[in-house]
């Protein structure tokens, strides 16, 4: 449990949730299903030679307890909802789609029962239930793209952007001036999720077009539509405007990352706007936006600030596809303190474009 409650940034949101659950149910977690689910989840990160047996024991214990309670719904409580979610994250990381779907459906069944049938929604469920639903929704859409043959999409209750802000307010320390840390983190989190989905959509479309398939599947189109709807939410757009204004007044890495994610999203949307991927990559608007992103990366991210690479991987890949090698070479990347060139090694995107162009009908 000590590892699950630690303050380090790795798996921050899950650990912050576990600390909140410990405040609600005690440090030892008084509900068996949740206690075992947490112990099983964080045993995954410990040496398997020592903890594999412990992980399997607690995983099976949590599962048995959830099955027992689901047979008598009046015994189900909010802690069981979070236990099912934690087991779902385990199965997802293990790429076990069948088990993920079982726990996913279990989460939704408990949510529906506690909020609609029995009306026993506790405060912790009201605040953090939408966090679970948002994470499951992201996993659902991602699986529709990457695992279309083994994944059955699930319709779930919609959440709002204000609910995302609310749960991040509870998870984040009060450390940012002039804006709610929950608001900034919610904008950042939603943008990061939508960018991840669009990057995977582009990768899958590239694979299909490379073998002569130019009709986009219904699942791909549904994910694109979902992203459009999320980014068009009035509350979200208002929050982005507020963060942009703050970013102009303060030199803060967190705000810079939001602006950077916004540029990457615009780049992905521009690429997907065209009929085929090769057309999108060659569009002048894409070339211009790719160059803008590269220059933002160079100018706004200060050498003294630790760079979190995961926030730039998608954008650097898209920029590399949307710019010629000559353009990339002209956008020189900064060097770190030991004068090591940190420019990414980029394969000439024109090779891939020619491959796609030859296969166009």
Helices (H), 147-252: 161-171, 181-210, 218-231, 234-249
The structure tokens listed for 342 are: 């940190």
Work out the average pLDDT over 174-179: 48
Work out the average pLDDT over 295-308: 58
pTM metric for this prediction:
0.79
Cβ pair 100, 92 in contact under 8 A? yes
Helices (H), 44-180: 48-70, 78-93, 97-112, 123-146, 161-171
- Higher pLDDT, residue 206 or 298: 206
In the chain, where are the structural domains located? 1-136, 160-361
Question: What φ, ψ does residue 8 adopt, rounded to 5°?
Answer: -65, 160
Q: What is the pLDDT of residue 361?
A: 40
pLDDT tens string 154-164 = 767 788 999 99
Q: pLDDT category, 326, cuts 50, 70, 90?
A: low
- Higher pLDDT, residue 329 or 152: 152
Q: pLDDT category, 86, cuts 50, 70, 90?
A: very high
Angstrom distance (rounded) from CA 143 to CA 180: 32
Work out the average pLDDT over 278-282: 83
């Amino acid at each position: 449990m000590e590892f699950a409650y630690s303050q380090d940034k790795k798996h921050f949101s899950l650990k912050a949730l576990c600390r909140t659950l410990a405040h609600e149910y005690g440090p030892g977690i008084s509900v068996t299903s949740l206690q075992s689910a947490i112990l099983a989840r964080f045993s995954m990160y410990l040496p398997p030679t020592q903890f594999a047996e412990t992980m399997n024991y607690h995983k099976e214990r949590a599962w048995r307890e959830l099955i027992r309670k689901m047979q008598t719904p009046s015994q189900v409580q909010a802690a069981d909802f979070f236990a099912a979610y934690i087991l779902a994250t385990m199965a997802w990381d293990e790429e076990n789609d069948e088990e993920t779907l079982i726990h996913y459906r279990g989460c939704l069944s408990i949510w529906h029962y506690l909020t609609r049938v029995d009306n026993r929604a506790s405060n912790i469920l009201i605040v953090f239930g939408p966090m679970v639903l948002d994470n499951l929704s992201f996993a659902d859409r991602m699986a529709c793209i990457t695992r279309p043959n083994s994944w059955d999409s699930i319709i779930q209750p919609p959440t709002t952007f204000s609910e995302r802000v609310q749960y991040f307010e509870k998870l984040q320390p009060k450390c940012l001036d002039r804006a709610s840390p929950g608001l900034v983190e919610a904008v950042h989190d939603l943008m990061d999720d939508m960018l991840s989905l669009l990057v995977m959509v582009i990768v899958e479309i590239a694979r299909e077009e490379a073998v002569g398939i130019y009709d986009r599947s219904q699942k791909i189109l549904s994910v694109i539509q979902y992203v459009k709807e999320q980014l068009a939410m009035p509350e979200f757009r208002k929050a982005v405007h507020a963060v942009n204004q703050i970013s102009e007044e303060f030199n803060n890495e967190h705000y810079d990352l939001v602006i950077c994610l916004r540029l990457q999203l615009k780049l992905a949307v521009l690429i997907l706007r065209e009929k085929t991927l090769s057309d999108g990559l060659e569009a002048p608007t894409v070339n211009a936006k790719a160059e803008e992103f590269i220059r933002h990366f160079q100018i706004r991210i200060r050498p003294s600030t630790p760079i979190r690479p995961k926030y730039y991987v998608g954008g650097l890949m898209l920029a590399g596809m949307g710019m010629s090698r000559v353009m990339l070479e002209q956008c020189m990347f900064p060097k770190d303190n030991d004068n090591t060139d940190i420019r990414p090694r980029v394969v000439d995107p024109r090779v891939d474009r020619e491959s796609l162009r030859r296969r166009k009908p």
